[in-house]
Structure 1
Amino acid sequence: MPIKTPAVRSWVAALLLTLSGGWALAQPLLIAHRGASGHRPEHTLAAYELAIEQGADYIEPDLVMSQDGVLLARHEPLLARVELEADGRTIKRGVDGKPVLHRTDTSSNVWQLEKYADRLTVKQVDGRPMAGWFAEDFTAAEIRADIRAQERLRDLRLANKAFDDRLPIPTLDEVIALAKARGVGIYPETKHPSYFKAFTDAAGLPRMEDTLLKALHAAWGNRPEAPVFIQSFEVANLQYLRGKTQLRLVQLLSASGKPYDFTLAGDARGYAELAQPAGLDFIKRYANGIGPHLNLIIPLQAQQLAAEPTPLVAEAQRRGLVVHGWTFRAENSFLPKDFQNSADKAPGALGDMAGQLRRFLATGMDGFFSDQPDLARAALPPKR
């Protein structure tokens, strides 16, 4: 039977097994970062559906857990976040006595639901105090009943706010069903795996990784050619996954800092070390690729792209690792100065993301994440 869905053709044609055991790409993979999050509130079925319509090859759900162990698509464990005083323990309150909302890390209306006011709390997430309403303090049924998504970048992506309080929080099963029905791949990220392992251990629940694999294997089987990548900023959970699955794994690399599980283990290495040849040799023992921050591919100098890229892409590919860079966003506030909109300086005005993307595609990277799949697809060469 011929494959008729364009996105299915993309991942079938793009992923060709090489003699080295790596994957050679006919065209860079377009991964919708949290869905079409530049156009709809992130991690909603509406965002994923629009991303598919705009030509995404893969949709990306970040995963957190409910109190009863259901995997949900959210950027952070926090469904809504509030500010803390400098002591890191006391919730900051306004003159009206209400908690002061964190403006860029609140992705649902739970903060407006009086019935859940008593679930506001302060926790340590990866060694940092955070305050708000946490997904693992709610059952999946509660989250699905009356908690609705809101635009997380509420002061930047104003048009997305038209969809606030209307869209439910999707489960992983719903995202998988959508991906399978529409013939695209899925690129889940295990968020804060050490944090959630402590939660599942204490609650007597299966760990996040096992729940994830059960769903993915049921949908696509345990095979390396499945249209699935599993990504994480931590290392130990990817190593754990490697012993249980043939699905492809991707080590995320931030521009600074270190994996939190390295902090817990006393490992002195940071992401900068993992991006070096010795670090890539280490990663290839358990992963199929890396997901580097864009600054690790082409650094910024005086807020402009450097003239030359680093050797990271070539070094990773030499070791059979694919490279998926993150994240391409069209708004001025996310772009290097040389690609910002010179006519409209507003943070939310759209600049030349296509030009920025072309600079990075010239490095030979195998795929990339974007908040605006439509603009990214238009910047790519025609599919062969």
Structure 2
Amino acid sequence: MIRNMFGWLAILSIFSGCSADAGDPVLLPDDRFLTIAHRGASAYRPEHSIPAYLLADEMGADYIELDLQMTRDGQLAVIHDNRLDRLAGMPERVRDLTLDEMRRIPYGNHFNEENPGIADPDFAGVTFSGLSDVLSRFGNTANYYIELKDPGKWGEMEEAVLRDLTAYGIIGERDVESDPEGLPRVILQSFSEQSLIRLHELRPDIPLIRLYSFKGEAHLSSSTVRKLAGYASGVGIPAASAHSDFIEKMHDAGLAVHIFTVNDEDEIQKFIDMGADGIFTDRPDAAVRLSQRH
């Protein structure tokens, strides 16, 4: 079952940024609840590490989430923060290092210190990866939910993401590969509307998620929703902001709603019952188990 979409192409040209020639956004299946492994199975292994992604895949997550920052040499590093102080105890910024330099920096000790009950000496040697490292490791055996962090004004990050996804066969020249259950192999997300519109113009076949951070309950004006429906497949919102009226409004516009970041099992169940389309979680095993009851 796929949601009906309204014809927003004419509206797009009014709001500018995304031309009508780009085509309708991709519709995401609405007959299942998606488990998106937040930075991998990051409750159990160092965030954004290959071990965390391997475990998330073993647990049956629908997607592994990658945050991307651009390095000094124009490559894409898989890391949430723009600095290395939290994870590696170093003052350097990602943009001041090359990808090869980041690949030599261990950061797993941070996880061991924060999680002594499940610490593993092997984690100490975990180093930062590039997008290309993750794609080469998993190829078409996993689905990727990728956030472009601070993409900037000039399109370098968008072009780099599409370059790597193409090089590793995740996207073809005209369409995105699907997994055996019909889910697109890749979803791209960002807080940057400009970046998403650029991506939609370049590759209208890729599902795009617009991220929002609300101070209170989630709310978007009707004009904003109409504009969103011209380039995005859905929205990502904080758990504290989510409510059923907002989810219903998004669904009426053909937009999926993915909620971040939910680890408590009662909360996961609440959002399943609320009608959300998926959650980001550090505990993909819990989300998979609960979603399979429905």
TM-score calculated relative to the size of structure 1:
0.63
Report the CA distance shift for 1:158/1:280 in structure 2 as closer, same or farther (over 3 A).
farther
Alignment pair present for 1:215 and 2:164: yes
Taking CA–CA contacts closer than 8 Å with sequence separation of 6 or more, which of the two structures ends up with the larger relative contact order? 2
Shift of 1:17: 4.3
User: What are the residue-to-residue correspondences of 1:10-29 with 2, within 5 Å?
Assistant: 17-20=2-5, 22-29=27-34
1:234-271, Cα deviation, whole Å (9 max, x unpaired): 211111111101211000111239xxxxxxxxxxxxx9
Distance 1:277 1:151 in 2: 47
1:141-196, Cα deviation, whole Å (9 max, x unpaired): 22223x01236577753446535531121110122233325x221001001223xx
2:161 is paired with a residue whose SS is: helix
Distance 1:179 1:248 in 2: 20
Q: Pick from 87, 107, 114: which aligns with 1:107?
A: 87
Residue 85 of structure 1 corresponds to: none
Q: Pick from 192, 200, 217: which aligns with 1:234?
A: 192
1:291 is paired with a residue whose SS is: strand
Percent identity, aligned pairs only, is 30
Question: One-letter code of the match for 2:282?
Answer: D
Report the CA distance shift for 1:178/1:365 in structure 2 as closer, same or farther (over 3 A).
farther
2:69 is paired with a residue whose SS is: strand
Q: Give the alignment's Cα RMSD to 1 decimal.
A: 2.4
Residue 214 of structure 2 corresponds to: 255
Between Structure 1 and Structure 2, the one with more helix by share is 2
Alignment pair present for 1:286 and 2:237: no
2:125 is paired with a residue whose SS is: coil
Report the CA distance shift for 1:316/1:362 in structure 2 as closer, same or farther (over 3 A).
same
Structure 2 unpaired stretches of 5+: 6-25, 179-183
Report the CA distance shift for 1:34/1:186 in structure 2 as closer, same or farther (over 3 A).
same
Question: One-letter code of the match for 2:38?
Answer: H
Is the CA contact 2:37–2:283 (under 8 Å) kept in the aligned structure 1? yes
Distance 1:317 1:63 in 2: 28
Report the CA distance shift for 1:283/1:28 in structure 2 as closer, same or farther (over 3 A).
same
Shift of 1:315: 0.7
Distance 2:118 2:103 in 1: 21
Rg (Cα) greater in structure: 1
Q: Pick from 213, 218, 222: which aligns with 1:277?
A: 222
2:188 is paired with a residue whose SS is: strand
Shift of 1:370: 0.5
User: What are the residue-to-residue correspondences of 1:1-384 with 2, within 5 Å?
Assistant: 17-20=2-5, 22-80=27-85, 106-108=86-88, 111=90, 132-145=91-104, 147-150=105-108, 156-159=114-117, 161-162=119-120, 164-181=123-140, 183-194=141-152, 197=153, 207-218=156-167, 219-220=169-170, 221=172, 222-223=174-175, 226-245=184-203, 246-256=205-215, 275-297=220-242, 309-329=243-263, 353-382=264-293
1:243 is paired with a residue whose SS is: helix
TM-score calculated relative to the size of structure 2:
0.81
Is the CA contact 1:72–1:170 (under 8 Å) kept in the aligned structure 2? yes
Is the CA contact 1:151–1:157 (under 8 Å) kept in the aligned structure 2? no
Structure 1 unpaired stretches of 5+: 1-15, 81-105, 112-131, 258-270, 298-308, 330-352
Is the CA contact 2:28–2:207 (under 8 Å) kept in the aligned structure 1? no
1:82-124, Cα deviation, whole Å (9 max, x unpaired): xxxxxxxxxxxxxxxxxxxxxxxx1125x3xxxxxxxxxxxxx
Query: How many residues get paired?
Result: 263
